[in-house]
Amino acid sequence: MLSWISSILNATYPFQLPQLDYDYKDLEPDIDQETMEIHHLKHHQAYINNLNNGLEKNPEFQTKTLGWLVKNYTQLPEPLSIIVKNHGGGHLNHSLFWKMLSPTHDAPSPKLEEHLNKSFGSVENFVELFNKASLSVFGSGWAWLCIDDQQTLSIMATPNQENPLTKNLTPVLGLDVWEHAYYLKYQNQRTAYIDAFWNIINWEKVEELILFHRK
């Protein structure tokens, strides 16, 4: 398995805040430094703390990986089940999200474009559908590009911190559309935040996940 995704999915209790591959200021002007600092150091850390507190009281699940916990949270006893759904999902989703961002302003490779064309007709159509999913989230949630076991790409939105893994889909790109991800800079203008997101996607990571899953 790709080492960076493996270190996210196969991590076990006690969970730790991952380091970013760039500085908080590096995504400016698309995402401002203060939002990045609060989002990573406060919001993401809070998901981790709550997840660790839940597992501290349930030692029999401390050896389970993050990927397993999020995928199988309905099998867990209450209240651990709801803790993993919200905070395990929060930890996993944000760990993926940071990896999907990059200050380098790359474009999808011809190979990735071809894959998007095959699934969505054109890259423009893919972007339009993803934007529509991002805007469809009421309250907090995520928009995702996913791949299934038949290597088909699809777009979905999930509420709160739910992850496509619970629906047997593997996320290869995700956008956090909770207001804490953009409110300081964009206030109520979610559309402007979504537009800015397309400037800072780490397409190399997206492609790695798609190609990895196709093997």
Q: Which is nearer to Mn ion, 44 or 115 (CB)?
A: 44
Cβ-based neighbours of 207, under 8 Å, separated by 6 or more = 108, 109, 111, 112, 115
Q: Which is nearer to Mn ion, 98 or 126 (CB)?
A: 98
Nearest CA-CA partner of 205 in 124, 65, 119, 104: 104
Q: Which residue is nearest to Mn ion (CB)?
A: 176
Nearest CA-CA partner of 117 in 81, 153, 87, 92: 153
Tokens standing for residue 59: 């030692």
Q: CA of 101: how far to CAs of 5, 20, 42, 60, 215, in Å?
A: 14, 10, 19, 35, 24
What angle, 0 to 180 degrees and rounded to 10, lies between the N-to-C axes of helices 89-100 and 203-214? 110
Q: Which is nearer to Mn ion, 36 or 116 (CB)?
A: 36
Cα–Cα distance for residue pair 145/206, rounded to 1 Å: 9
- Please, what is the minimum distance in Å from the beta carbon of residue 45 to Mn ion? 12
- Please, what is the minimum distance in Å from the beta carbon of residue 101 to Mn ion? 12
- Please, what is the minimum distance in Å from the beta carbon of residue 205 to Mn ion? 18
Q: Which is nearer to Mn ion, 91 or 115 (CB)?
A: 91
- Please, what is the minimum distance in Å from the beta carbon of residue 113 to Mn ion? 29
Q: Which is nearer to Mn ion, 76 or 181 (CB)?
A: 181
- Please, what is the minimum distance in Å from the beta carbon of residue 68 to Mn ion? 22
Residues in contact with Mn ion by CB under 5 A are: 176, 178, 181
